[in-house]
Amino acid sequence: MAAASAGNIPVCAKCHAQETAAFLKSAMGNSLAAPSPLGAGHVARRNSGIEMWISDRDGRMIHSLSANGLKAEFPVAYQIGAGKIGYTYMVRIGDYLYESPASWYRQHGWDTSPGYDRMASPDFDRLIDSQCLFCHSDNGRFLGSDGRRFSGAALNPIGCDRCHGPGDEHVRQPSAKNIINPSKLPQRARNSICEQCHLEGETRLLNPGKTWQDFHPGDELERTAATYLLTQNNHEVKAVEQAEQLALSQCVRGSGGKLWCGTCHHPHGQAADRTSQIREVCRSCHSTLSKAAHAAVSECVSCHMPRLTPNDIPHTASTDHRILRRAAPLPNVENAGAEIAAWQDPPAQFRARDLAVASLVIGGTHGMSSLRDTGVQLLEALPQPEKENDPVVLSSLISIRLQRRELEQARDLARRGTEIQPDSGFASLNLALALQNSGDDAGAEKQLLRTIDLDPSLQAAWVNLVFLYEKQGRQAERAALLDRYLKWNPQNIWFRQLKAMLPQR
């Protein structure tokens, strides 16, 4: 894939100079970069005592956070986003990437980052894993079965291969037969190229044995990952739901699939006169318009695709892709009794599994006990080999067994999880919790230490071990453990507070 990646765009430019030049100016071509200088900034969280500063030091952007008399600061490694809406930032702690709590919004300036805005005590602790980075970088590689430990390879923005597939063979022998042209693909494969990043749903699940990098243009996305939606939803507008909205459009339905994302959006560069471009697309079907309604109208978007305010990202607006005849709010239906459905069904052998896990995830996220109960029933009904060999199913069943206080079964399942994923910090943590709930503090201590060795970014392992030592009155071990964590991440505010609370020797 190297020949067509963002880091080697000059290779593509040799034959496609105009397309690559335009792409490099697009949002996708600028999805990730070194931080752009924006000047100093300051954010004060109202009534919380939390403040953030943005500064420049020796040519590097520095993000700082102050809370409870303590301060943490990190140099920014990368900015995410093209700046049309704003920028979010990544810092690096050891072998892990984290979202900074400060983001820049074009319509507002500096403020709290998405996700952190709902946290009472933000720190530099929202980890960026392989799924988070998939839509923003062409070559984000993570080590281990959990997809959390960053490989350290320099990151590039989205490149040519994300829509056109691997380009090595095409470079060696250019031909239309060995490169993907999205517009020439069957409808599902064509739409999947856009949906890999512009379809979030309520949850997306990798199918067993798959990673995000297993999706390639020309495939159907659901063969790699299944997306699930609520069929009835007290709708909150999300910043990334363009695919879901477009599917509701009468224009799309009436076109028989001819109208798709690429009809109006061209990654190789938008028309200089965007208004005229969109008007011509609309008039290709709507050649005659009501003179009464359109007497002085020269463009279509403001009435038929107005701006919506997302609930999940502050200070932003997104275009309503339903293309309504008359603007209307999104459906507002009570969640009671809501069900979920796959955007597109995954392969038959994964459907029961994916639906079960999605029901648990969505039911838990939205507090829908009936949906969660459905997920439990579906999980219990899965064939025994799936329940014993699928890490995601195993982890879900362990949580269920612990909640039911079926402790022996929880331990057995957790041990199985560490057997099939010996490098997984999550699997190790599940076993530690199962042992701890069973009263085996010695076994839990040993497993928590192993979890920390496998994945020091899993704060739950450290916290559980800190409280275990506190319960047992082992203050020296507790102090040593806090010192060990702070050696790994000296900036963490919460762990520094814990250390300050230790009795003075």
pLDDT at 8 (0 to 100): 61
434-469: pLDDT as tens digits: 999 999 999 999 999 999 999 999 999 999 999 999
Token digits for 487? 């050696």
9-65: pLDDT as tens digits: 778 999 999 999 999 999 999 999 999 999 999 999 887 889 999 999 999 999 999
Report the chain's mean pLDDT, rounded to a whole number. 91
By CB neighbour count within 10 A (0-12 exposed, 13-18 middle, 19+ buried), where does 66 fall?
A: middle
- Measure CA 473 to chain center: 41
Confidence of residue 332 (pLDDT cuts 50, 70, 90): low
The residue among 6 and 373 whose pLDDT is bigger is 373
Cross-strand partners of 203: 228
Sorted by where each begins, the domain ranges of the chain are 32-156, 383-500
Which one-letter amino acid corresponds to residue 115?
G
Q: Helices (DSSP H) in 307-406: which residue ranges?
A: 351-366, 369-380, 384-389, 391-403
By CB neighbour count within 10 A (0-12 exposed, 13-18 middle, 19+ buried), where does 24 fall?
A: middle
Q: CATH number for 383-500: choose from 1.25.40.10, 3.40.50.150, 2.40.30.10, 3.40.50.300.
A: 1.25.40.10
Rounded to whole angstroms, the Cα distance separating 159 from 175 reads 19
- The residue length of the chain stands at 505
**Cα angle at 436 between 431 and 438, to 5 degrees?**
95
Rounded to whole angstroms, the Cα distance separating 375 from 355 reads 7
pLDDT at 197 (0 to 100): 93
Is residue 90 within 8 A of residue 97, CB to CB? The reply is yes
Phi, psi of 343 (to 5 degrees): -60, -50
pLDDT at 1 (0 to 100): 36
180-190: pLDDT as tens digits: 999 999 999 99
Q: Which helix (H) or strand (E) holds 282?
A: helix 274-283
Give the strand pairing for 51-57 and 102-105.
unpaired
For the cut 70, the answer to whether the pLDDT of residue 3 exceeds it is no
